[in-house]
Structure 1
């Protein structure tokens, strides 16, 4: 039996993602986010700590994360 956890996103972010994936082959935002995370994990491309900080700050500035 698998165990699950919950990741919360602001509703505005979810609406933005829903609009972005409209007409694509993703059944849900969850499916799309899982696809992106798995693709990133399999990628040989690495981001620096500075890039990760900038991305995190940008997401905060946009109101997507606290």
Structure 2
């Protein structure tokens, strides 16, 4: 399993203005600090066809 590290501030996962994206299609794990946050900026199209699947989430918040 690979690890993805990005500049998402205090969020473990930030899904922002994504279109046609599948996260953790083969599985994955999110644990520890931060949270999972879907978001959208007004200067880009809204999220569309975005899927989080096969994802184990522990000690997290989803906003």
Higher share in strand: 2
Relative to the length of structure 1, the TM-score reads: 0.22
Relative to the length of structure 2, the TM-score reads: 0.22
Larger Cα-atom Rg = 1
Higher share in helix: 1
